[in-house]
Amino acid sequence: MGSRGEQYAEKFLRSQGWKILARNLKTRLGEIDLLALDGATVVFIEVKTRLSDHRGRPEEAVDRRKQKQLSRVAMGYLKERRWLERPSRIDVIAITGEPETDRCELRHFKNAFPAAR
């Protein structure tokens, strides 16, 4: 389910004119679901997919601990690439329902949270 959600999110972002740089980007500090460019901005995207909201909305799974981990991975990646001067942010894409069906809802939270320390 997670992989299909990531594919659906990638398709959505491409339809918005974004350039996808990587999917399931693994670093020594962790993994980022999608790495993209929104214009000149480097965007790290966490994708959460659930069949229903029965146990809460998908975006609620990006708790404080997950935010810290995503922030560390993003900062490490920017340092490694020497991209610290480039604009960047972390987005969350929440998908509820079966991806690419008429019952699927995609919500995109740009700059979903401030960099956690």
Domain ranges of the chain: 2-109
For the entire predicted model, the pTM comes to 0.92
pLDDT at 116: 60
- Residue 109 clears pLDDT 70, i.e. is over it: yes
**pLDDT band of 8, cuts 50, 70, 90:** very high
**What would the 3-class secondary structure string for the chain be?**
CHHHHHHHHHHHHHHCCCEEEEEEEEECCEEEEEEEEECCEEEEEEEEEECCCCCCCHHHHCCHHHHHHHHHHHHHHHHHHCCCCCCEEEEEEEEECCCCCCCCEEEEECCCCCCCC
Better pLDDT: 100 or 67: 67
Q: Are 36 and 23 in contact (CB under 8 A)?
A: no
Q: At the top level of CATH, which class does the domain 2-109 belong to? A: alpha beta
Is pLDDT above 60 for 117? no
For residue 8, give both structure tokens.
């659906």
Q: What is the mean pLDDT of residues 68-94?
A: 95
Q: What is the mean pLDDT of residues 78-87?
A: 95
Averaged pLDDT score across all residues of the chain:
92
